[in-house]
Chain A
Amino acid sequence: EVQLVQSGAEVKKPGESLSISCKGSGYSFTDYWINWVRQVPGKGLEWMGRIDPSDSRINYSPAFQGHVTISADKSITTVYLHWSSLKASDSAMYYCTTAHPGGFDYWGQGSLVTVSS
């Protein structure tokens, strides 16, 4: 069974750093890109970027470039989303997702990040 399991909810202060994770299982982890998607409560979906776990090629959305870092550790089939200095506006649900051929699309359960002083 293909699964993406994300790390739990986080509460942080502005200026703090944070990494959240997404662990893939049940498939060949290096075969498919993994995307990160943000959803501010009550708002729409925003594509943040993606990583190819086989060689760590990364594409960022211009809206998020320079504010987050995406990385992967294929040895433990995990990708990360990292902030070095959080802002209140980073408060949101974050999803990892991967698309496989034939319309098979998998999403993590989401990681809720709350940034508040």
Chain B
Amino acid sequence: EIVLTQSPATLSLSPGETATLSCRASQSIDYYLAWYQQKPGQAPRLVIYEASKRAPGIPARFSGSGSGTAFTLTITSLEPEDFAVYYCQQRTIRPPLTFGGGTKVEIK
């Protein structure tokens, strides 16, 4: 089973700042990584798929990078609506399609 480790657990930032979130896989997953945003009381929303592709409707301030075992989600110039919990998920053909533990981006 592929284990995904997200860091940090919590990121305290102010609107306008840049958020950098990390996700590390226990073995190579090539570029088969997705990032989700979840706000309280809502289902998760896909933000990035295949490590670096923005999902439809996602603003350009969201970007993803990485391959193999190390991945990053960057949110530049944070908007108030970006404060949420972010999860990574490995989406290779090898189940289980595990999620990371999440990073909460909170307002400082």
Contacts and interface: CB of A to CB of B under 8 A. Distances in A.
Contact of B96 (A47, A97, A103): A47
Interface residues of A, number: 24
Given A35-B97, A50-B97, A45 B36 contact: yes
B46 interface: yes
A11 interface: no
Given A62-B1, A107-B43, A108-B43, A45 B56 contact: no
Contacts of B45: 105, 107
A107 B101 contact: no
A103 B46 contact: yes
A103 B89 contact: no
Given A44-B87, A45-B36, A47-B99, A110 B49 contact: no
Contacts of B98: 47, 61
A103 B55 contact: yes
Q: Please classify the interface of chain B as helix (H, G, I), strand (E, B), loop, or mixed, using the class held by over half of its residues.
A: loop
A50 B36 contact: no
Interface residues of B, number: 24
Contact of A45 (B46, B49, B87, B95): B87
A35 B98 CA distance: 12
Contacts of B97: 35, 47, 50
A50 B1 CA distance: 16
A45 B102 contact: yes
B99 A105 contact: no
A65 to B, nearest CB: 9
Contacts of A49: 95-96
Contacts of A35: 97
A97 B46 CA distance: 11
8 contacts: A46-B99, A49-B96, A59-B96, A61-B96, A99-B46, A103-B56, A107-B44, A107-B45
